[in-house]
Amino acid sequence: MRKFLIAFVVLATATWVGTPAHRLAAQERQQACCGPITPAGERLSDVLDAMDVENHWLNHEHVNWETGEPDKGEDYTGPGTHTHCSAFAAAAAKRLGVYLLRPPEHGQILLANAQYEWLANENGHKAGWRALAGMAEAQRQANQGDLVLAVYESPNDHKPGHVAIVRPSKRPMAVLIADGPEAISAGVHNHNKVSIRVAFEHHPGAFPDAIRYYAHPFG
């Protein structure tokens, strides 16, 4: 009797796993979550790739916010040398003809926190930015060619937040849920292509619920 029950359970499990509904659900999880990449999305990708973020806006260098090139020399030991996520985001926005809070209106130090607050208030709205509902909409709008920011404000006023740019990607739904949209980011480590989860890994508590997404039309 026991052998019969075990065989029945194994057969029933195998039958359930192989049902058309289950296979369809598995296939849907592997499909692109957020629509095709449009021609505008392709142009956005080209602009982001051309910024060569993995060789500019590097950690522990004081940089020109627009170019990401060192501008103080190797012996400089003053402030403003930590990370440059917000300067990179502002530089990318400027190349795309979009205004994001940047020098000289705000210095590079703690700029990400200031950008978070600026995007959330009427100044960001007047400049054409709009809040997005979450990760799927952020990836969808980037695929459509909008400039999309992922921003996090540090709960400590004296520590930096973080900002990354969502880049067009044919991301499967399962990957989106686990790791967030695909991004380009400057930070402790610079990445041309990285998940939002990894881009914000040096900010405990940011991913997924404390990150806000904003979009601005482009293309």
Residue 52 and residue 22 share a domain: no
Q: Phi and psi for 179 in degrees, rounded to 5?
A: -125, -5
pLDDT at 124: 98
* Interacting residues of 216 by C-beta distance below 8 A, sequence separation 6+: 93, 98, 127, 128, 129, 130, 146, 147, 148
Residue 45 and residue 20 share a domain: no
pLDDT at 219: 60
Q: Phi and psi for 145 in degrees, rounded to 5?
A: 105, 5
Residue with the two structure tokens 């499967």: 172
Q: If you ran DSSP here, which 8-state letter would residue 147 be given?
A: E
Contact (Cβ atoms closer than 8 angstroms) between residue 65 and residue 142: no
Query: Beta partners for 70?
Result: 63
- Lookup: tokens for 138: 């952020």
Residue 154 and residue 72 share a domain: yes
What is the C-alpha to C-alpha distance for residues 36 and 27, in angstroms, rounded to an integer? 17
pLDDT at 198: 98
pLDDT at 77: 67
Rounded (5°) CA angle 15-18-23: 150
pLDDT at 30: 61
Provide the number of structural domains found in the chain: 2
Can you give the CATH number for the domain in which 89 is found?
A: 3.90.1720.10
Residues of the chain under the 70 pLDDT cut: 1-30, 75-77, 219
pLDDT at 12: 45
Select from 81, 100, 103 the least CA-distant residue to 150: 100
Contact (Cβ atoms closer than 8 angstroms) between residue 34 and residue 139: yes
Residue 156 and residue 184 share a domain: yes
Residue 195 and residue 113 share a domain: yes
Residue 191 and residue 140 share a domain: yes
Domain range for residue 9? 1-30
Residue 166 and residue 83 share a domain: yes
pLDDT at 13: 47
Residue 58 and residue 161 share a domain: yes
Residue 109 and residue 8 share a domain: no
Residue 36 and residue 26 share a domain: no
pLDDT at 91: 98
pLDDT at 6: 44
Residue 119 and residue 80 share a domain: yes
pLDDT at 81: 78
Residue 123 and residue 194 share a domain: yes
Contact (Cβ atoms closer than 8 angstroms) between residue 145 and residue 40: yes
pLDDT at 164: 98
C-alpha distance from residue 21 to each of 15, 29, 33 (Å): 11, 13, 19
pLDDT at 218: 79
